Amino acid sequence: MREIAIFRHNLFRISEPFITQQAQQLRRHKPLYLGRLRFGAPPAGADSLALQDQGRWPLPRIGWQMITRNPRPYQRLLGSRRPALIHAHFGVEGVYALPLAKRLKVPLVTTFHGFDATLSTAALLCSPAWANYPLFRHQLARQGDLFLCASSFIRDRVLAMGFPEARTRIHYIGVDCRTIQPRDPGEETPTILHVARLVEVKGTEYLIRAFAALAPSQAKAELIIIGEGPLMRRLQELAKTLGLAQRVRFLGAQPHEQVLAWMRKAALLVLPSVRTASGRVEGLGMVMLEAAATGVPVVGSRIGGIPEGVLDGKTGFLVPERDADALAHRIGDLLDDPALRHRMGVAARLLIERRFDIHRQTETLEDLYDGLLAERAAVT
């Protein structure tokens, strides 16, 4: 099988299981994970190469490569290995993978997921890790071979940045409908689930305020928050101030298997994302798709790519961003009506099977790989 380099600077982050989930579904190609640093273990049996493994003092070398985008460190890391294609996850990675792809004379695929299509140029330039992205983005648009977007919303944003329409397409990563099976109604508990990195764009503050506004008849409900981030302490203080310390549980980051286990218990999942002052917006929300695959209705903000995964009134509810009262109203509607939850959960599962099945989506991805490789072979 031809080897595909899966390029991500920070490999195996617990908050990014979707990268390995897609790569591990490849059947006609073999993934090789390539990046700067490992933040977790690779999938069982998978190959990975990271710049952190080179020499006694890797961090200065990594810093130099971050500034220069020089592909030589990755070439040394690869040694005699020659991937047939590079697939970079996030536009930032695409900018760094481009010199390597050109040096190796292989096609480059870049997937845009969210912040890389929505964050303002000023915000990007303020980060040393991201500053090269706006500076070389137009070069990536001219010379990259294919640009995949995690949602229709993201594609519109990528096109607005100047990427070519003919080489920019929507490609949902999807979820594993074989592994994630619909839960039995008997597994459900009065739990409201929120899974997110605790940063502003996720809107967790408005969920906590909405939870505080629920009717007394819904007081048995518990809010479970899975994830960590810079806002955790502030959000914990907000829950305490609102008298919710005993009913809101912050579990921190959890392995993907535990997240899926909590989904099976949840009455509903809430994704109350917001648009930040820096322009950041939710690209889609993989956790929303996993909940739907489990048969759990979702309440989400009507913003970004969320409406592509929630059919308002059919598989869940959409509400205006930053509107805690509207959020509380729709959460209450679902808590009060088990039949509605079940009906929406069934419809949500059908939507995932039809539009977001990872096996079908990965087969399409491999067809795209093969098409690029055939085109490259035809001109060499």
pLDDT tens, residue by residue, 257-277: 999 999 999 999 999 999 999
Angle at 137 between CA 33 and CA 172, to 5 degrees: 55
Closest CA to 174 of 14, 303, 355: 355
Same domain, 158 and 222: no
* Residue 193 DSSP code: E
* Residues 222-250, mean pLDDT to the nearest whole number: 96
Token duo for residue 317: 């509810």
Distance CA 325, CA 348 (A): 24
- Number of domain units in the chain: 2
Closest CA to 73 of 83, 91, 59: 59
Measured CA distances, 274 to 18, 25, 45, 168, 283 (Å): 22, 32, 39, 26, 11
β-pairing, 168-170 vs 146-149, is parallel
Token duo for residue 267: 């009455």
Same domain, 323 and 374: no
Mean pLDDT estimate for the chain = 95
Same domain, 193 and 153: no
179 occurs within a structural domain: no
pLDDT tens, residue by residue, 59-116: 888 889 999 999 999 999 999 999 999 999 999 999 999 999 999 999 999 999 999 9
pTM of the complete model? 0.91
Same domain, 316 and 363: no
pLDDT tens, residue by residue, 164-215: 999 999 999 999 999 999 999 899 999 999 999 999 999 999 999 999 999 8
246 occurs within a structural domain: yes
> Is the pLDDT score of 380 beyond 80?
no
Same domain, 86 and 217: no
> Is the pLDDT score of 335 beyond 80?
yes
Distance CA 215, CA 222 (A): 13
Same domain, 30 and 119: yes
- Which CATH number covers residue 351? 3.40.50.2000
> What is the pLDDT at residue 215?
87
> What is the pLDDT at residue 216?
87
Same domain, 163 and 304: no
* Residues 130-156, mean pLDDT to the nearest whole number: 97
Same domain, 145 and 106: yes
Element (H, E) at 66: helix 58-68
Same domain, 136 and 12: yes
Instruction: Provide the residue range defining the domain that includes 341.
Output: 185-355
Same domain, 310 and 365: no
Same domain, 126 and 53: yes
